[in-house]
Chain A
Amino acid sequence: MIGQALVPLLLTLKVAGLATMLTLVFGVALAYVLARHAFWGKEIVDAVCTLPLVMPPTVLGYYLIVLIGRRGWIGEWLYQHLGISLIFTWQGAVLASAVVAFPLVFKSARAAFEGVDRQLEGAARTLGASEPRVFFRVTLPLAWRGILAGVMLAFARGMGEFGATLMVAGNIPGKTQTLSLAVYDAVEAGRDDLANFLVLLTSIVCIAVLLASGRLLRPRY
């Protein structure tokens, strides 16, 4: 039973971890642009980026199939030029989890950047700091905890991803079957012992993540 749980657990950690890294890079970059620059359509960009939070995961999954399926807008190009197909692969599951978890990082990063006193950045500039130095020595360290809390939530959300992953990556045991999908299968097959074990495992990991993010959210300065 432990073996049956271990494979989906490791896959889930891999998928959620990589998805979280993707959302970290893109979410933080976009959040910084929106927090520090004024441009037309800014709030539209914000709304679109927040959409995965409110849309049903199956709808997102469908959007992803339309985009990256073999006959999708991006998928066709990927398949013809690079021979890559993301549908029914664990990489596809990473993409699905990343899209679903994106708003959690993006939203908390934007709030964190907007909470950084602009005067501190100004002070750094008058002290001769280049723009990258202002960002890495002042803005990012001060926003970091807020961002990290969002990252934790994104990881937890990625761990529990079901709908979009099922649509994009399917439910192939040993290949794309993550914990939440394995739980579904176990219950369907009437294997309550396995289901109980998987549910417990998922709960423990998620509680640990939430406790850690709660600690990080406590104000320090």
Chain B
Amino acid sequence: MRVRVDIRKRLISEGREFQLEAAFEAENDRIVVFGPSGSGKSMTLQCIAGLITPDAGRIEIGTRVLFDSVAGINLPPQQRRVGYVFQEYALFPHLSVEGNVGFAMRHTIAGRMDAAARERVRDFLALFALQDLARNLPRELSGGQRQRVALARALIHRPDILLLDEPLAALDPLLRESVRRELLEIQARFRIPMIIITHDPADAEVFAENLIVFDHGRVTRGFSLKDDSAASIAASQRERVSRALTEVFPPS
């Protein structure tokens, strides 16, 4: 799916000015947005989800235009069909695992789900190995379990794209390797495009088909790591990522 982002946003907070100018285009399903913290990666993701409104620009996912300042289009987050996994997961602390995962399902005024919705929640709990934790509150879960709840919650309403804000940062380093593999499996199973924010080159090595590099609120470079030229096939993914990153951040 094609993702096109071209946005500008000026932010002044506590007397400091931040200027975001993000423009990139990606054709592949695994897009990694890489950059140091404070470079505007999260803000870009929130603009895509509709939680922040850019000053100007255009956001396009597949054939759908989510935002276009010239045409006056600005879909509310509810209509963007975007799954968002927040950095600290932002699970609802007062709702059980089941309540969190089922949040996007249609509820009656009394707060009940119909049989089909309950069935789908059950399937998702099983799929993410959460069935035994259905009644637990988020604070009773481990980091890895919380992340699975966040993923299940975001995927259950069939979004067009999944946005992951530093999905591994809140995890134990020992867990990261296995969670990376899980994310790849989920991506393949749901065939859903993902944009993953990270500042860890290891994440880029595993995920990136498109690598977008941010610095100081700007996209400095975009790389497609899936091209078929003989040179890049010969090179391993690891070499390609490190070559791309040293191009943008040359060793001093």
Contact residues of A with B, CB < 8 Å? Answer: 117, 119-120, 122-130, 133, 137-138, 141-142, 221
Can you name the residue of chain B whose Cβ is closest to the Cβ of A142? B94
In the assembled complex, the Cα of A141 lies from the Cα of B107 at a distance in Å of 17
Can you name the residue of chain A whose Cβ is closest to the Cβ of B52? A122
In the assembled complex, the Cα of A90 lies from the Cα of B31 at a distance in Å of 67
User: Measured between C-beta atoms, what is the minimum distance from A191 to chain B in Å?
Assistant: 51
Q: In the complex, what residues of B have CB within 8 A of residue A124's CB? A: 92, 103
- Say yes or no: A130-B78 contact (C-beta < 8 A), given A123-B84, A123-B86, A125-B51: yes
Q: In the complex, what residues of B have CB within 8 A of residue A221's CB? A: 93-94, 137, 139
What are 5 A-B pairs with beta-carbon distances under 8 A? A117-B90, A123-B86, A126-B84, A128-B104, A221-B94
User: Measured between C-beta atoms, what is the minimum distance from B85 to chain A in Å?
Assistant: 9
B57 sits at the interface (CB 8 A): no
CB distance A125 to B50 under 8 Å?
Answer: yes
Q: In the complex, what residues of A have CB within 8 A of residue B139's CB? A: 221
User: Measured between C-beta atoms, what is the minimum distance from B209 to chain A in Å?
Assistant: 24
In the assembled complex, the Cα of A97 lies from the Cα of B129 at a distance in Å of 54
Can you name the residue of chain A whose Cβ is closest to the Cβ of B102? A127
User: Measured between C-beta atoms, what is the minimum distance from B150 to chain A in Å?
Assistant: 9
- Report how many residues on chain B are interfacial, defined by Cβ distance under 8 Å: 26
CB distance B90 to A125 under 8 Å?
Answer: no
In the assembled complex, the Cα of A125 lies from the Cα of B82 at a distance in Å of 10
Q: In the complex, what residues of A have CB within 8 A of residue B90's CB? A: 117, 119-120, 122-123
B219 sits at the interface (CB 8 A): no
CB distance B86 to A125 under 8 Å?
Answer: no
CB distance A122 to B51 under 8 Å?
Answer: yes
CB distance B94 to A126 under 8 Å?
Answer: no
User: B157: which of A125, A127, A133, A141 is its contact (CB, 8 Å)?
Assistant: A127
Using an 8 Å CB-CB cutoff, how does the interface string of B142-158 with A read, 1 for contact, 0 for none? Answer: 00000000000110010
Chain B interface SS verdict (over half) = loop
CB distance A128 to B157 under 8 Å?
Answer: yes
Chain A interface SS verdict (over half) = helix
CB distance B103 to A126 under 8 Å?
Answer: no
Q: In the complex, what residues of B have CB within 8 A of residue A125's CB? A: 50-51, 76-78
Q: In the complex, what residues of A have CB within 8 A of residue B137's CB? A: 221
In the assembled complex, the Cα of A141 lies from the Cα of B80 at a distance in Å of 26
B3 sits at the interface (CB 8 A): no
In the assembled complex, the Cα of A152 lies from the Cα of B157 at a distance in Å of 40
In the assembled complex, the Cα of A133 lies from the Cα of B76 at a distance in Å of 15
Using an 8 Å CB-CB cutoff, how does the interface string of B47-85 with A read, 1 for contact, 0 for none? Answer: 001110000000000000000000000001110101110
In the assembled complex, the Cα of A221 lies from the Cα of B140 at a distance in Å of 10
In the assembled complex, the Cα of A35 lies from the Cα of B111 at a distance in Å of 26
CB distance B103 to A129 under 8 Å?
Answer: yes
Q: In the complex, what residues of A have CB within 8 A of residue B82's CB? A: 126
CB distance A126 to B92 under 8 Å?
Answer: no
In the assembled complex, the Cα of A201 lies from the Cα of B103 at a distance in Å of 47
In the assembled complex, the Cα of A125 lies from the Cα of B49 at a distance in Å of 9
CB distance B92 to A120 under 8 Å?
Answer: yes
Can you name the residue of chain B whose Cβ is closest to the Cβ of A130? B78
CB distance B104 to A127 under 8 Å?
Answer: yes
